[in-house]
Amino acid sequence: MTSIYFDHAATTPMSLESLQAYVEAASAGPGNPSSLHAQGRTARGRITSARDKLASLLHCEASELVFTGSGTESDNAALFGAAFAQLKRGRKGIVTTAVEHHAVMHVCRELEEKGFDLTILPVDEYGRVSLRDAISAIDDSTAVVSIMAGNNETGTLQPIAEIGERARKHKAIMHVDAVQAFGYIPFDLQEMPIDLLSLSAHKINGPQGVGLLYIRKGIPFQPMVYGGTQERNRRAGTENVAGISAFAAAAERAYQLVQDRIAHAEEIRGTLLKALTEQLGEEMVVVNGHPELRLPHILNVSFIGISSESMLMNLDLAGVSASGGSACTSGSLKPSHVLSAMKINSERVLSAVRFSFGLGNTREEADKLAKITATISARLRNR
DSSP assigned state of 355: E
Burial of 205 (0-12, 13-18, 19+ CB in 10 A): buried
Alpha-carbon span 294 to 272, nearest angstrom = 16
Alpha-carbon span 71 to 177, nearest angstrom = 8
Degrees, nearest 5: CA angle 293-333-73: 60
Helix (H, G, I), strand (E, B) or coil at 196: strand
Q: Please, which residues have CB within 8 angstroms of residue 301's CB and are 6 or more apart in sequence?
A: 273, 276, 285, 286, 287, 288, 352, 353, 355
Residue 38 dihedral angles phi and psi, to the nearest 5°: -60, -45
Helices 102-113 and 71-87: crossing angle in degrees, nearest 10, is 30
- What are the residue numbers of the active site? 328
Alpha-carbon span 359 to 239, nearest angstrom = 28
Alpha-carbon span 56 to 270, nearest angstrom = 33
Closest of 59, 63, 67 to residue 33, by C-alpha? 67
